[in-house]
A and B are shown apart, each in its own frame.
Chain A
Amino acid sequence: GAGVSQTPSNKVTEKGKYVELRCDPISGHTALYWYRQSLGQGPEFLIYFQGTGAADDSGLPNDRFFAVRPEGSVSTLKIQRTERGDSAVYLCASSKGTGGVTDTQYFGPGTRLTVL
């Protein structure tokens, strides 16, 4: 079946602009996660949705970052007033949402965001 998809694959924007990154999870997966991977580092957790609600948003770096999942499927990560330091690959993952730590997360290919 289809895996996690993310659009766009690449996004170049100017400092101060607003961007939206989209994630389509695996069909039937109720849990959805956003991570950010900076160059030369491992992915860092941003936010986790169980269904429509954000169960854990402790990784969002500041209030310029916001994510929604209004119908419990597709999610959008929104970044306001982008800064050069926001440049990174933004990864989305989904899982069945069984609630346990063994609930394997499947990742999409990521969106590479470049802020000029």
Chain B
Amino acid sequence: DQQVKQNSPSLSVQEGRISILNCDYTNSMFDYFLWYKKYPAEGPTFLISISSIKDKNEDGRFTVFLNKSAKHLSLHIVPSQPGDSAVYFCAASSKAAGNKLTFGGGTRVLVKP
């Protein structure tokens, strides 16, 4: 069973507008959440993270929101740029399970100029 799910396989957005990516999880033991970005033929690169004790973390154009009661997190990218076109993975980890990351299936984002 998938413990981390990204229900939207793809997203298309106009340059300058906001991109919103969603992620749901089922394991209540998860206490740290991350977003990774992946370009073709490259490994995932770390983008932003959030601890379960927070509900928001912002880094430049990227903001992650966490709703623990709903077991839901989202990534907002504003304004979106063509270079943001990539596959975005949501990931989660827990102190109890050590450092291993559990990933969602990814959302492919296309930013149109």
A residues near B, CB below 8 A?
A: 4, 31, 33, 35, 40-45, 48, 55-56, 58-59, 91, 93, 95, 99-110
Docked CA distance A11–B98 (Å): 31
Interface residues of B in 1-53 (CB under 8 A from A): 4, 6, 31-32, 36, 41-46, 49, 51
Judge whether A43 and B100 touch: CB under 8 Å.
no
Judge whether A107 and B99 touch: CB under 8 Å.
no
Judge whether A108 and B89 touch: CB under 8 Å.
no
Secondary structure type dominating chain B contacts: loop
Secondary structure type dominating chain A contacts: loop
Could you give, for residues 73-113 of chain B, a 1 whenever the CB lies within 8 Å of some chain A CB and a 0 otherwise? Answer: 00000000000000001010111001111111110000000
| Extra inter-chain contacts (6) besides given A43-B89, A48-B100, A104-B49, CB under 8 Å | A41-B105, A42-B6, A42-B103, A101-B51, A106-B45, A109-B41
